[in-house]
Amino acid sequence: MRAKRKRPASAARILVIDVGGTHVKARVGAHGTIQEFASGPRMGPARMLRRLRKLIRGLDYDVVSIGYPGVVFHGRIAGEPHNLAKGWVGYDFARAFGKPVRVTNDAAMQAIGSYRGGRMLFLGLGTGLGATLIIDGVVEPTEVGHMPYKRGRTFEDYVGERGRQRRGNEKWRKAVTHVIDALKTAFEADYVVLGGGNAARMKKLPPDVRLGDNRNAFVGGLRLWRQGTGRLTLAAARRHRKR
């Protein structure tokens, strides 16, 4: 009897999980139905998996991509999240799923799905602030959101959801515009993509800034399995560098 050929990762059925501070979303493949449930400060990885298994029962998948709202180093969770329960560091997702798993920062996953070439800075405006830089296909997640910004507060304190609620929409928008300008200059980015649930609250965007789409996180989750030699492989990347 001929042995069953192993499905190549690029052609695999990929379960993509986008873990956020308020919701967890999941989808199988490029066109599956997006399933979601509430997360929050009491949700750890085991609790998430219990809820997730109920939603995806009966769905077939070969590999898993996880976007995690915290520090990920060399594909491993390296720090507990700020807006979820503890227990994520050292959790064996591959064993829990019984499938190969790739983990990246959640902002990085959406950034990967939003990338069109060149030097891109992705800023995720949600519960906190996620920031990822991609330079010519090389992905570099950052923890800029938790760095000091001004008046003893972090970037996230100003442009995250708590900052918006504390200061109101008008001052929040001004802070976001200032942060975009500061980080775009610091990272020498060709363009900036704004993602996250609060990105749509921006009424006017600065030059070389565009709105992303939260569904790009699922595109990024698929692309994680098309990443070779440390670079993203894009079907038709367009250069954004100014001439």
What is the 3 state secondary structure string of the chain? CCCCCCCCHHHCCEEEEEECCCEEEEEECCCCCCEEEECCCCCCHHHHHHHHHHHHCCCCCCEEEEEECCCEECCEECCCCCCCCCCCCCCCHHHHHCCCEEEEEHHHHHHHHHCCCCEEEEEEECCCEEEEEEECCEEEEECHHHCEEECCEEHHHHHCHHHHHHHCHHHHHHHHHHHHHHHHHHHCCCEEEEECCCHHHCCCCCCCEEECCCCHHHHHHHHHHHEECCEECCCCCCCCCCC
Q: How far apart are CA 80 and CA 78, in angstroms?
A: 7
Strands 101-105 vs 14-19: parallel, antiparallel or unpaired: unpaired
How confident is the model over 109-157, as pLDDT tens digits? 999 999 999 999 999 998 889 899 999 988 888 889 989 999 999 999 9
Q: How many C-beta atoms lie closer than 10 Å to residue 155's C-beta?
A: 24
Nearest to 69 by CA among 148, 138, 132: 132
What pLDDT, on a 0 to 100 scale, did the predictor assign at position 115?
A: 94
How confident is the model over 36-90, as pLDDT tens digits? 999 999 999 999 999 999 999 999 999 999 999 888 988 899 999 988 999 999 9
What pLDDT, on a 0 to 100 scale, did the predictor assign at position 227?
A: 67
Q: How far apart are CA 91 and CA 95, in angstroms?
A: 9
What pLDDT, on a 0 to 100 scale, did the predictor assign at position 82?
A: 83
Matching residue, tokens 């790739």: 102
Residue 153 main-chain phi, psi, to 5 deg: -115, 160
Nearest to 36 by CA among 51, 14, 15: 51
- All structural domains of the chain with their residue ranges: 9-108, 116-213
- pLDDT of 2 higher than 60: no
Nearest to 124 by CA among 200, 56, 189, 59: 200
CB 55 within 8 A of CB 68: no
- pLDDT of 233 higher than 80: no
Architecture of domain 9-108: 2-Layer Sandwich (3.30)
**CA dihedral of residues 32, 36, 42, 43 (deg, nearest 10):** -10
Does the fold of domain 116-213 match that of domain 9-108? yes
| Domain 116-213 class in CATH | alpha beta
Q: How far apart are CA 135 and CA 118, in angstroms?
A: 6
